A = this chain, B = another copy of it.
Amino acid sequence: MLDVRRMRVLREVALRGSFSAAADSLSFTQSAISQQIAALEREAGVVLVERSARGVRLTEAGEAVVRHADVILARLAEAEAELEAIAGLRGGRLRMAAFESAGASIMPLAIAAFRERHPGVELSMIQEEDDEAVAALRAGDLDLALIEGAHGRPQTPEGIELVHLLDDPMYLALPQDHPLASRSRIRLRDLADEAWIGGGLDSSCACNRLRARACEAAGFEPRVAFESDDWTAIQGLVAAGVGVSLIAELGTTAVRDDIVIRDLGNQVDDRRVYVAVPAGGYRSPAQTEMVEILQEVSRAYGARRQPLALAS
Contact = CB atoms under 8 A, between A and B. Distances in A.
Given A4-B72, A60-B284, A68-B79, 18 more contacts: A1-B76, A2-B79, A2-B80, A7-B79, A44-B83, A46-B87, A47-B282, A50-B278, A51-B280, A52-B280, A61-B284, A64-B83, A64-B86, A64-B92, A65-B83, A69-B79, A72-B75, A75-B75
A76 B82 contact: no
A119 interface: no
The 8 closest A-B pairs by CB, nearest first: A68-B79, A4-B4, A46-B87, A61-B86, A50-B282, A64-B82, A44-B83, A72-B75
Interface string A45-70: 11100111000010111001100110
Interface of A: 1-5, 7, 44-47, 50-52, 57, 59-61, 64-65, 68-69, 71-72, 75-76, 78-80, 82-84, 86-87, 92-93, 140, 143, 278, 280, 282, 284, 286
A7 B83 CA distance: 13
A71 B74 CA distance: 11
Contact of A80 (B1, B76, B286): B1
Contacts of A278: 50
A87 B72 contact: no
A35 to B, nearest CB: 19
A61 B88 CA distance: 12
A93 B71 CA distance: 21
A92 B4 contact: no
Nearest to A84: B45
